[in-house]
Chains A and B, each alone.
Chain A
Amino acid sequence: MPRHPTILLLAFLVGCIAELAPVAELEIDLDRIASETHPLDAQQKAFMSGVYEVVSGADLLGPRVSGRWIDGRWCLFSQHDVVLAEMAGGFASDSVHLTGFVRVVRSGQGITVDLLIAPRDGGQDLANGREPTRLTLAGSTSSGTRLQLRRVGNLYQPQAPFHVLAHRGGGRNAERLGMSENSIAMVLHASRLGATGIEIDVKRTRDGRIIVFHDDTFSPRTVSGAYLLGRVESFDLDQIRQYGQLINGEPIPTLEDMLHAVIDSTQLSLVWIDVKDAGSMESVVRIQREALAYAAATGHPVRIAIGIVDDRSRQAYLQAVAGDPTPTISELDRSTTLASAESMRCLAWAPRWTTTITNSDVSHCHAAGVLVFTWTLDVREYIAEYLFETPVDGILSNYPSLVAGMQDTRAKP
């Protein structure tokens, strides 16, 4: 026996790290499924949108879900847990056939699902372009759970638009859908998660380019590529693109590429740019101005706002805009935000959710023409607080599908 067994013990045990176990992707070709059926028109899709009572399958989906067609997919959002479903399909004769997946986002579990609207359950009315008097989707999952969903009402329509903002372009869904956080692929998918807007993070490279990336360093958490490890500002953009990619294989996007993708290929209404480095503010403002001009030219009224996180960030922003402010979202305290609302062209005040936001705060902001968002909120009970008790104008979440489901159905925990 060695004299110092502790050293051997430590040598054996160091280096252990915890990683999230990979989740098997659901191999469903939704585009193929969509192509094998006759698509619904806009009116037929609108007839299907609504709140559904879960007659069978409540253990999986909860008592109610909201259903909407988004970007050609039939999406279900649960208010019960972080469960979402995404399906493709359309008419086959007088029935609507839908196939896709149901995912329990918090655990990464996923199952396939088939649903049918039979002719007598509303399929025939839909096929004839009439609003169904009754609408029921029935089917089952690959795990054998029988599903029956009965439409019981319309989606909640708030008086003013409510912003469901996806953290890092899609939140934690990014790690479970085979799409990386802050990737263009994820952002193009964000609407199907229930998001109406996104938050993205930007960093500056050594050659002064602005990329969409969260961490200070490239690490195996976010990128793949043996030579792409270390601080972001140690690499030129060309080197970054040559040496690595995001963890699921997408290129690391520049801010310009990301904003153009949002404008050209999504219906998202808001982009919140979280600027991690005040030194990059001038470049970010320039790109923001160009993107806003491009959005105006294309007719997509997306709002692109820079997050002001502290006073250093505010000073850098004011210097960069030189008296001609661009839209911002302020994380400063309320009084500073409102005092600077005009000089910062403040779209929203956005305190962290763990600080107290009162109805009086919200009223003061609204009186000044400033919205109230809060971040980054994932717990159902606390989401309910900011939907129902102290209603804010937007919630940034890793689980946009949960926020959307709760907002659509107005269901309290």
Chain B
Amino acid sequence: MTPHWIRTALNLTVLLGCTWYEGVSRDTLQYYYEPRPLIPSTSVFQIGGSATLLPEPVVENEYPIPAIDVQYKLGLANEWSLVASGSTNLFSNLVHGGLQWNRAWDRFSLGIAQHVGGFVGFISAEGQFDNSWAWAGIGVTLVRAGFRLDDYALSVTGAASYIIHSESNVADVNAQGPSGTWNDLYLTLAVEQPFLKESLIALGFSLTYSRTPYQTWLLFNTYDQRLFVPEFFCAIQL
């Protein structure tokens, strides 16, 4: 089960934040996950955290793995936007970005994006790991759908990531990891809403169906089987 403190912390965050909310004009609200076209030359920047429950068969004990996440979206002309996303917990780092096409029909919105990016991880711990690292080049295809209700935005994102090439190194020894293969399927549900005076908040959940969750690279997972990886996230839009 998800640790009780995570649920409590998330619920309290939302309740307190909404209490302090002083109101933002609906017309000016632009969110990251909701694929409504941005006003050209305006941008959205989010910073937040996530907790990922890695699959028990890989990690043996179900610890939430924390990460700091940043997201950026810049409005371009003609319903296009530039999107970038990053996540790090020092040992495991994931960055990807690309172009996203967006369109809105009243309350509904739709976005399609193609990202490229990479993963890199490094660890050196005396007596345990000598200069161990891994990297991967990836492509990510995303489809987002949004629904605006008053000043809330609900969105769902489906995504698939493809590992172009991956490798690991321990000291001087190299091994090729999964390459030329679809690695993850994501389904992300997000709620975005005003929060704390003029800030906005995004809360959500992502369920990944993954062969090799990138956070597990230092376990040198050899399971050739896809497993579910739940993740909870919370981000403040600045």
Chain A residues engaging chain B, CB cutoff 8 angstroms:
1, 3-7, 9-10, 13-21, 82, 104, 106-108, 172, 175, 215, 221, 333, 351-356, 378-382, 385, 389, 398-399
Contact = CB atoms under 8 A, between A and B. Distances in A.
A245 B132 CA distance: 38
B10 A10 contact: yes
Given A6-B10, A18-B227, A107-B224, 19 more contacts: A1-B150, A1-B152, A3-B18, A6-B203, A9-B203, A9-B205, A10-B7, A13-B205, A16-B53, A18-B57, A18-B229, A20-B225, A104-B224, A107-B223, A355-B129, A378-B222, A382-B173, A382-B175, A385-B173
Contacts, number: 124
A382 B191 contact: no
Contacts of A398: 222
B55 interface: yes
Interface of B: 1-2, 6-7, 10-11, 14-15, 18, 53-57, 60-62, 127-130, 132, 149-150, 152, 154, 168, 170-171, 173-176, 189, 191, 193, 203-205, 207, 220, 222-225, 227-230, 232
A10 B15 CA distance: 13
A19 B57 contact: yes
B225 A352 contact: no
B175 A379 contact: yes
Contacts of B232: 10, 13-14
A6 B168 CA distance: 39
Nearest to A354: B129
The 10 closest A-B pairs by CB, nearest first: A381-B175, A18-B55, A20-B57, A106-B224, A18-B228, A16-B230, A13-B205, A107-B224, A356-B171, A6-B191
Nearest to A8: B191
Contact of B128 (A15, A104, A354, A381): A354
8 contacts: A5-B154, A13-B189, A14-B232, A18-B55, A20-B227, A355-B128, A356-B171, A399-B222
B15 A17 contact: no
Given A6-B203, A9-B204, A17-B62, A106 B223 contact: yes
